[in-house]
């Protein structure tokens, strides 16, 4: 059993705290948001994430929260930092919140005699840990990294909607270590909490920083390749893009994951990480054309979707967008393709009706009062002459039955969740990736 402190109780940090406590470790979370602290201490989930509440209940008194860094550091052996690293004006990431946390950690370490391991999980670019993070810890603690305390850079590879599961069942464990002692401690800890005996990939801190930013950039290229194939398939009669991607994904050198042509990528990680990868490369004197072109092509998919809509609905007509989040299973709308489409259609004079099964609160931050928020799927169908199916949530299963009561509806289905036969002759069906 270890004593763990986790700095930051947001989407990832709160899940880490609950997951680690459920495995028998004593965990104290730290956050400046008193509401998050109170939620944890009252046995409630501070954020909306699948399985989080269940795992907080599994902690059985081993999980608590505080705003006091000193208390957390004094009563723990390993500290995980998972605070925001927002994009700055250059396209890279700012480390200001990480540095602020490290100042408080350093002050607490100054009063501590025994060895302590600090683990940074937040995404940063290569070189930042050594130049802007470890230096702050050393300055405020008066101690030496690798001697008096240990440091590892160990980002997670998780997806919103499955954070807890991904934490406990990683594909691999990325450990960027200041020295072997620090890496050994962290690897042993991970082995005590993961369920799937994931392999460790241990390396220098800078190599780990580059690895993290490279994973998401590579995935955006793979997604974009599938989207490009979908566009090509639309222009060759008799081609179904799913037949193509399923076949090439069977090649073990390629793999099937993230190889489905559709509406493109969005969310809080993929777009920003890809742009940051490009910025990082150029800063080092290297061009990153794949990252640049991926970002550019992803934006064209929005224009393609809008063209399909405008070709089938006269200006001023009613368009229903079903699904506003950037992917199924979450309410997050940051960099959502559907949000961009709704914004543009509204600006162009269309009546835009929207429905998101996970609620409209986050969507309203981006769309305001420019669209009409439908109470349910039926209302969205009733009010719209064209329905755009932006993601693949389960509520769409009811759509064919609902459409059966109407004539002359148009359905645009980028992900090919249905086919024309599903709706019969009373609706016009349009998909991406099939001519």
Task: Classify 127 in phi/psi space as left (phi over 0), alpha (psi -120 to 50) or beta.
Answer: left
pLDDT in tens, 215-229: 999 999 999 999 999
Coil, helix or strand for 175? strand
User: What is the per-residue pLDDT for 422?
Assistant: 85
pLDDT at 329: 86
Region(s) of the chain under CATH 3.40.50.720: 3-203, 217-435
Measured CA distances, 45 to 11, 67, 143, 166 (Å): 10, 17, 36, 18
pLDDT at 317: 95
Percent of the chain, pLDDT > 70? 100
Question: From CA 332, how far away is CA 292, in angstroms rounded?
Answer: 25
Angle between helix axes 205-233 and 289-312 (nearest 10 degrees) is 30
Q: pLDDT tens, 91-139? A: 899 999 999 999 999 999 999 999 999 999 999 999 999 999 999 999 9
pLDDT band at 313 (very low <50, low <70, confident <90, very high): very high
CATH code of domain 3-203: 3.40.50.720
Distances (CA, A) of 48 to 17, 43, 160, 373: 15, 14, 10, 21
Please state which of the four CATH numbers 3.40.50.720, 3.30.200.20, 3.40.50.450, 3.40.50.170 is assigned to the domain occupying 217-435: 3.40.50.720
Provide the 10 A C-beta neighbour count for residue 22. Answer: 21
Tell me whether strands 173-177 and 149-153 are parallel, antiparallel or unpaired. antiparallel
- In this structure, the dihedral spanned by the alpha carbons of residues 22, 27, 31 and 35, taken in order and rounded to 10 degrees, is 50
Q: What is the pLDDT of residues 145-155, one digit of tens each?
A: 999 999 999 99
SS3 407: coil
pTM above 0.85, yes or no: yes
Interior CA angle at 13 toward 223 and 157, to 5°? 25
pLDDT at 397: 84
Q: What is the Cβ-side half-sphere exposure of residue 339, based on CA atoms within 13 angstroms?
A: 22
> What CA–CA distance (Å, rounded) separates 345 from 347?
5
């Amino acid at each position: 059993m270890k004593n763990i402190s986790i700095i930051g109780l947001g989407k990832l940090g709160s899940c880490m705290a609950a997951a680690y406590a459920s495995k028998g470790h004593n965990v104290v979370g730290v956050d400046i948001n008193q509401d998050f602290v109170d939620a944890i201490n009252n046995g409630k989930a501070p954020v909306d994430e699948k399985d989080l509440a269940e795992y907080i209940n599994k902690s059985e008194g081993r999980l608590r929260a505080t705003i006091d860094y000193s208390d957390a550091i004094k009563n723990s052996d390993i500290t995980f930092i998972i605070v925001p690293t927002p994009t700055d004006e250059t396209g890279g990431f700012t480390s200001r919140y990480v540095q602020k946390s490290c100042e408080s950690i350093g002050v607490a370490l100054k009063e501590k005699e025994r060895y302590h391991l600090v683990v940074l999980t937040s995404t940063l670019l290569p070189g930042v840990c050594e130049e802007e993070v470890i230096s702050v810890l050393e300055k405020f603690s008066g101690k030496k990294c690798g001697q008096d305390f240990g440091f590892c850079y160990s980002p997670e590879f998780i997806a919103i909607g499955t954070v807890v599961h991904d934490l406990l069942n990683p594909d691999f464990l990325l450990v960027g270590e200041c020295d072997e002692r620090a890496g050994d401690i962290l690897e042993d800890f991970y082995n005590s909490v993961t369920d799937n005996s994931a392999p460790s990939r241990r390396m220098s801190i800078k190599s780990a920083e580059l690895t993290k930013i490279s994973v998401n950039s590579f995935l955006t290229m793979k997604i974009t390749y599938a989207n490009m194939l979908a566009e090509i398939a639309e222009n060759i009669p008799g081609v179904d893009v799913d037949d193509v991607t399923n076949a090439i994904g069977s090649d073990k050198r390629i793999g099937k994951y993230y190889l489905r042509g559709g509406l493109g990528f969005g969310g809080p990680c993929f777009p920003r990480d890809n742009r940051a990868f490009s910025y990082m490369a150029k800063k080092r004197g290297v061009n990153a054309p794949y990252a640049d072109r991926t970002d550019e092509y992803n934006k064209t998919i929005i224009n393609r979707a809008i063209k399909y809509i405008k070709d089938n609905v006269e200006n001023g007509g009613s368009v229903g967008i079903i699904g506003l989040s950037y992917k199924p299973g979450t309410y997050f709308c940051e960099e959502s393709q559907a949000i961009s489409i709704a914004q543009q259609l509204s600006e162009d004079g269309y009546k835009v009706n929207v429905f998101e099964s996970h609620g409209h609160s986050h969507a309203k931050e981006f769309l305001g009062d420019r669209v009409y928020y439908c109470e349910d799927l039926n209302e969205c169908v009733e009010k719209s002459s064209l329905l755009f199916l932006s993601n693949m949530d389960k509520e769409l299963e009811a759509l064919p039955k609902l459409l059966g009561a109407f004539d002359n509806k148009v359905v645009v289905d980028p992900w090919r969740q249905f086919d024309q036969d599903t709706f019969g002759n009373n609706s016009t069906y349009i998909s991406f990736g099939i001519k």
